[in-house]
Every structure is written in C-alpha cells, then in structure tokens.
Amino acid sequence: MRARPWWLGALVLLIAIGVSLLPPAVAATGTVSNAGASAAPVSPDDRNAVVAAGSFELAKVRILGVPAITVASPVVGSQGDAPNAQRRAEVIEGNLRLLYNPEHLCSESEQIAEWVLIRVLGGSGGACEPSPLQGVTGSAPERLVVERRQLPGGDVVLEARVPERSEPLPLLTVTRADASLNGISAMDLGERWQQRLQSRLRHARQVMQPADMRRRWQITLTVQLALALVTAATLWLWRRNRHHCSGLIRRRSSSPDRALEQRLQFHQVIGLVLLLLVLLQLMVMLALGVMAVPGKVPLGLQLLLQPVHSVIKLLLVGLAGLLARSLATFLLHQWADGARVPVEEQARREQRHRSLLRVSHRLIDLACILVAAGWILVDIPGIRAASSSLLLAGGALLGGLALVFQGLLRDFVAGLAVLIEDRYAIGDWVEIGGLEGDVVDVGVLSTQLHCLDHRVAVVQNSAFDRVVNHTKLRSGEEVKLLISHRCTAIGQALAVVAEELAAFHADLTWGPRLLAPPLLRGVSATGPLGITVSALLTTVAGEQWACSRELQGRLVARFQREGIPLADGLELASRS
C-alpha cells in the first residue's frame, strides 16, 4: 500500500496559516508633530486595542510589537480637534518606528523607474531617495537620546535626538488626559515615559543591527533543524506504531483474544499521542520562525500558546459534552421508566429509548465539535478581529451550503420527524421503499436495515413516504389453512381449529407471547383449490412469526390425525 505523505500537507497548512496570520507591516509616512499627522495603517488586531476606562479611552503604543506605554483621550467634555486614543497611538507608533525600522516610501519598481528617469532628464534627488533615518541600522544604539521639553502652554513634549538628524524628532505630547489618568503631573509622567522609551528604542535599534539579525536567524535555524529531527523521529515512531497496530488487527481478525484487544487499544492511544505530539512540534517550529522576525515575538508567543489554549478548550467542551450526555441519559431513563406508562407500552418505550439515546448522544457530540472548532478559530489572531466580516461571510456561505446540501437538510428534518412521531425504532421489523428488514440503527440522516439475507440496507430518511411497521407495540399474523373440497364436515374442521387455538393459548410456553386469545375467523374464502379457514393471532411485538409457525404445525398434525384432508390440488387435476 502506497504511503500517503499527509505530514507534508499538514506542514504546508501550518505554514500557510502562520503566513496568513502575520499582520501587515505598519508603514510610517514621516515625522509628525504632537497634534498628529498621517500615520501608517495598522493591523486588524490594533483596531480592537481601544479600551474604555471611565471617562477615558485608552490605547497602547507598541515598540517591536511589545506594548511600551498607554495613551489616553477624554470621552466626555469638549475635545476640540484632539485625536482619540487610537489615532494618537497610531501616530506615536509611526514616529517611534522611524527611529528603529523606517519604511521605504517607494516600492522597488518605483525606485528603478525614478532612477531611470533621473538618468534621462538629468539632475539629482527624488521622492524615492532614502532619508537620513534609513541609515539607522548602522549607527550605535546608545547615541539615541530621548529628551523632555515643556512648551510655553504647559504641555510636555518628548523628542528624540539621533546622529542622523540635526533637529530632534518629536515623538509625542503628554496630554492632560494622560497625566490625569496616571494621577501625576505631566512633567513627572514625561520623565517616566522618557526613560522607558529611550531604553526600548535603543534595544529596538540594537535588534535591527545586521549582526544581531544574522545571529538571530542562525540561532533560529539551528533550533528549527533540531526540532525537525525530533519531529522526524516522532513521525517515524508513529508510523512504526501504526504498522504494529495493523498487524494486531490482522491477528485479532483471525484469533480474537482479550489480551490482544487490550494491546491494540494501548497502541492506538500511543499512536494518537504521537500524532498530537507531531502536530505540536510543527506548531512550535512555526511559532519560532515567526518570533525570529523582529516585532513578531508577541504573535509567535500567541501561536505557541495556541495549542495549550486549544487543549484547554477541548477539555472544557469535552467535559460539557460528557455532562450533557449524562443529563440526556438520565432524562431518557426517567422517561422510559415512567410509572404511568401502560404495561403494553412499556416494552415499546424501552425500544424507543435505545434509539433516542443513540441519536441524542450523536447530536451532543456534533454540537461539541462545532462549538470547540468555533471557539478555537475565534481565538486565532486575525480571525477574532474580523469577526463581523466573518459573520457576514459565514451567513452567505451557510446560505450557499443550504442550497447545495438541501438534500441533507431534508434527511435531517425527516430523521427528527421519525424519532418524534415514533414511526419505528431500533429492533422493529419494517418495510421501507420495497425493502424489508430489522432496524439496526436510526440516525438523523439515514436508517439502516438488516435484511433476511444479511444485507445491510441504508435508506435516506427523506427517500420514502410509506413505512410498514410489523412490530410496533404489538404484532399480528393471520394463519390460513386451505382445506380440500373433499372435506364433507367443515363444521368439524372449524371445531378442531377452535380446540387447537384454545390449547395454544393455554400453553405455558406460547401463551405468554399472546396479548389476546386467538380469534377464529372461520371460512374466509373459497376457491377452485379449496376452502380457506383463517385465525388471527395477536402477539407481543416480534413474536408473530414464531407463533404462526408453531400453530400451523399443530393444526396440520391435528388434521392428519382427524383425517381432515388439506387441499393438494388433486381435485383440480382430476377435473382438468
């Protein structure tokens, strides 16, 4: 059997998920002043960074993706042209990014086109020429100094002095809302932010140095190779374990053994643990690769913690599912054992109990799977931020799926109707759509019948409109005997049948299977072959065929002893 490289697909899927989760780079458009200027668009996660705290709106300012300070803006009172907290955070982040990771204003194609145009027209300089801050990675980080300056109006401004600029770069203005939120003066808050931003910016400039970048990637590559070897070894163990499980399954099919079954279950659990370990190692490799990119450490840590959170959520949903299954089992048991249920319906209710219990457990399992999947997906970075758009897209997708899978929806509704209306249950003998057999499973989409020739027929719940149930609550069978026309004492024959019916009802073995005394219907038909005498049996559900066979055998034996001839077709042959 050809091995399927499923792990390659899993690796590609994890890499694709990681790439799709990386937020777009935030491009700074230039130096801005305290009141605000144009700032780069932020990632979708940043739009959810605003938090309301009393009279203030708060937003965090990040350096290399790690929150550094929290800025505030009032939400009541006159604000004039002052930007809100989120806008201030975007502007300040753009200013800070100019000091450690300035973005190129032009794309590569625009830079080439401008260079060609300058060569053709002559002159020098252009919009795509790098600013002095583009050489930030070559300067010493300790030469960056954050200064604090108080304006004549009382506002405190933080500025950065770097060797690349002759004038300080304004970073932010400490507003009254910031000072009021922290409970200190604007000057004291500016001093606190000055020290924090200076150390963080120096660290960011150090991280962006080419030597540090090379060292970071070398360490990451070494760790990734080690993890790849461990993952390959784990995958090899998983494949060996699966091969061993296949051998145990073949041995179990030839010679069933309890010890063999326990060994098989143990190896199946080991295989599941190894498979989960492989997926966890792939997720760790992806997270470390993301963390190697400057500014993506929080995202890498979030990806690294995602499996842990997913396991916790699965455990919680699984516990809730177990509780729901236990509750459903308890309620169905109480319903099946109701004291007010008539005796003749008690067996039927127990029969329905098995069907309802199986279907309710399946529905609970399906609901748990959907809840766990949705809970895990919502917590993935990038998906939670786009929840509103995903809801709209999900509604449109569900509408399309409803049209595509409308047959399954019809089967589902028909399955619920079967269970609610008690058309049949597990253990019933039914006729459905030309098929006849014992119901072995009732699902919300289909019904399985075990036919007499040991075939298992699967019938969709919406594929039929007529059901004949032979074993619901009680069963009945009409027993017919064809008496020859040579019989001259039909009354004697009927008396013999009546005696045998009474003896059958009084029998200790067969009498308890009857719900009512057998009914002698007398002569029900006449024809060229003979006279038909019939009797009706009302039995416990499913016992009609055994009772009919036993009664017919007794009647035939009694007729032979009494000399009452049964039709054999000789009269018809002699007449012809």
- CATH code, 445: 2.30.30.60
By the 8 A CB rule, do 221 and 261 touch? Answer: no
Q: What is the pLDDT of residue 78?
A: 57
pLDDT digits (tens, 9 = 90+) for 495-548: 888 988 899 988 898 988 888 888 888 888 888 888 888 898 888 877 888 898
CB atoms within 10 A of CB 526: 11
Q: What is the pLDDT of residue 385?
A: 57
pLDDT at 20 exceeding the cut of 60: no
Residues 46 and 115 in one domain: yes
**Burial class of residue 81 in the structure, from the number of CB atoms within 10 Å of its CB (0-12 exposed, 13-18 middle, 19+ buried):** exposed
Residues 82 and 181 in one domain: yes
- Identify whether 11 is part of a domain: no
pLDDT at 231 exceeding the cut of 90: yes
End-to-end CA gap in the chain: 68
Give the list of residues 6+ apart from residue 220 with CB closer than 8 angstroms, or none: 288, 289, 291, 292
Residues 68 and 122 in one domain: yes
Q: What is the pLDDT of residue 39?
A: 37
Q: What is the pLDDT of residue 43?
A: 43
At 196, the pLDDT band (50, 70, 90 cuts) reads very high
Residues 258 and 393 in one domain: no
Q: What number is the average pLDDT over the span 116-141?
A: 68
* CATH number of the structural domain spanning residue 494: 3.30.70.100
Q: What is the pLDDT of residue 456?
A: 86
Q: What is the pLDDT of residue 5?
A: 47
Q: What is the pLDDT of residue 197?
A: 92
By the 8 A CB rule, do 157 and 109 touch? Answer: no
- Identify whether 10 is part of a domain: no
pLDDT at 44 exceeding the cut of 50: no
The Cα–Cα gap between 553 and 535 comes to: 14
In this structure, of 76-80, 285-289, 496-500, 506-510, the range with the lowest mean pLDDT score is 76-80
The residues facing 189 across adjacent strands are none
Residues 198 and 188 in one domain: yes
- Identify whether 395 is part of a domain: yes
pLDDT at 2 exceeding the cut of 50: no
Residues 181 and 324 in one domain: no
- Asked which of 469, 494, 518 is the last residue of a domain, the reply is 469
Residues 119 and 175 in one domain: yes
Residues 202 and 338 in one domain: no
Give the list of residues 6+ apart from residue 328 with CB closer than 8 angstroms, or none: 357, 360, 361, 364
pLDDT digits (tens, 9 = 90+) for 451-480: 888 888 888 888 777 888 887 777 888 888
The Cα–Cα gap between 58 and 288 comes to: 31
pLDDT at 229 exceeding the cut of 90: yes
- Identify whether 2 is part of a domain: no
Q: What is the pLDDT of residue 33?
A: 36
DSSP secondary structure, 180-229, as one string: HHHTS-HHHHHHHHHHHHHHHHHHHHHHTSHHHHHHHHHHHHHHHHHHHH
DSSP-derived secondary structure letter, 535? E
CB atoms within 10 A of CB 294: 16
Q: What is the pLDDT of residue 297?
A: 86
- Identify whether 14 is part of a domain: no
Structure-block tokens of residue 346: 């008690």
Q: Which residues constitute the domain of residue 527?
A: 474-575
Residues 157 and 92 in one domain: yes
pLDDT at 42 exceeding the cut of 90: no
Q: What is the pLDDT of residue 370?
A: 87
By the 8 A CB rule, do 288 and 220 touch? Answer: yes
Question: Given its phi and psi angles, is residue 383 left (phi above 0), alpha (psi -120 to 50 degrees) or beta?
Answer: alpha
Q: What is the pLDDT of residue 23?
A: 44
- Asked which of 270, 293, 316 is the last residue of a domain, the reply is 293
In this structure, of 37-46, 56-65, 525-534, the range with the lowest mean pLDDT score is 37-46
Residues 520 and 429 in one domain: no
Residues 203 and 54 in one domain: yes
**Burial class of residue 176 in the structure, from the number of CB atoms within 10 Å of its CB (0-12 exposed, 13-18 middle, 19+ buried):** middle
Which of 378, 364, 362 minimizes the C-alpha distance to 313?
378
At 27, the pLDDT band (50, 70, 90 cuts) reads very low
- Identify whether 6 is part of a domain: no
pLDDT at 162 exceeding the cut of 70: yes
pLDDT digits (tens, 9 = 90+) for 477-497: 888 888 888 887 888 888 888
Q: What is the pLDDT of residue 461?
A: 80
pLDDT at 137 exceeding the cut of 50: yes
- Identify whether 407 is part of a domain: no
pLDDT digits (tens, 9 = 90+) for 325-368: 999 989 888 887 765 666 666 667 777 788 888 888 888 988 99
Question: How many structural domains compose the chain?
Answer: 5
- Identify whether 19 is part of a domain: no
The Cα–Cα gap between 506 and 32 comes to: 105
Q: Is the dihedral of CA 561, 565, 567, 572 positive or negative?
A: positive
By the 8 A CB rule, do 278 and 286 touch? Answer: no
Q: What is the pLDDT of residue 238?
A: 92
Residues 527 and 483 in one domain: yes
Mean pLDDT, rounded, of the chain: 79
- Asked which of 207, 235, 270 is the last residue of a domain, the reply is 207
Q: What is the pLDDT of residue 61?
A: 92
Structure-block tokens of residue 75: 């939400």
Q: What is the pLDDT of residue 573?
A: 53
Using alpha carbons, list the distances in angstroms from residue 394 to 16, 370, 384, 401, 409: 21, 14, 14, 10, 18
Question: Given its phi and psi angles, is residue 122 left (phi above 0), alpha (psi -120 to 50 degrees) or beta?
Answer: left
